[in-house]
Amino acid sequence: MCFPALAKGSLEGVKIFIDPGHGGPDPGAVGPSGLHEADVNLRVSRVLANCLREYSGATVVMSRTDNVDVSLGERVTAANNWGADRFISVHHNASVNRDYNATETYVYYYADRTAIDMQENVHRRLVEGLGLRDGQARTAGFYVLRYTSMPAILTEASYISNPYEEARLKDMGYTWREGYYIYLGIADHFGVAP
């Protein structure tokens, strides 16, 4: 697809669907002191949406804007029906090993070159910005990656199960930066100045 506005250095006319993982009765992973992944995902996604709109003029839709239950099928259908150009699902991982912490970014096993380019750019910005161990750009069969009809990625920026990281994820400034780093990766992917 051609994006003529990109020559002007903006993402005007580009439709980006942001999916804050989990929500409603599904808290996602829960940190050692009780922080819910779903809440952090939503906070980071709101920042990402604001950055995309305010800094680059992209058109953004979110799968949820509150702590509500949205099924995986509903998320994918909404993105596909809207005709999104890109899909970004925001998550935070967990491990039984509470010492572990890393940044990982996923695409579907059979992702095309466009999705992989978006993954690589976002992953690089998150690793550089958050300063965590590089858990690698990976592939997976996650539902939202498999059934979306546009290039899609899923971020696992850090491990909420790590006590130090959970404390950082409670900080609004830290999660603002995470959303901003994802935005920078998207700008890099499209070749526009952030």
Residues taking part in catalysis: 156
- Antiparallel, parallel or unpaired: β 102-108 and 152-159: antiparallel
Length of the chain in residues, anyone?
Answer: 194
What is the rounded radius of gyration, in angstroms, for the C-alpha atoms of the chain? 15
| Exposed/middle/buried for residue 82 (C-beta within 10 Å: 0-12, 13-18, 19+) | middle
Comparing CA positions, the residue from 24, 165, 26, 42 lying closest to residue 94 is 165
